[in-house]
Amino acid sequence: MSADWSWLFLDAHGNTMEGDGLPTTGFPTQSEAENYLGESWQELLAAGVEAVTLRQHEAVVYGPMSLRAAE
């Protein structure tokens, strides 16, 4: 299986984030990518990620989507 699905991590200014604690590999299915986010969003937020965008290959599926609760 290939890793066609990936998250683009964004900081508070909308800049792409990479580095410690952020996955560098993709996921084989949309469901697995979304499950990862559901399990990891709090850790990502603590690492400075404010929003995410789901991509299949390089095409945007949806996002940016905030990791913070709606006010």
pLDDT in tens, 61-71: 999 999 998 77
pLDDT digits (tens, 9 = 90+) for 5-63: 999 999 999 999 998 778 888 999 999 999 999 999 999 999 999 999 999 998 999 99
**pTM score:** 0.89
- Buried-state track 15-43, b at ≥16 Cβ within 10 A, e below 16: eebeeeeeeeebbeeeeebeeebeebeee
Residue 5 CA to residue 48 CA, distance in Å, equals 22
**CB burial class (10 A; 0-12, 13-18, 19+) of residue 49?**
buried
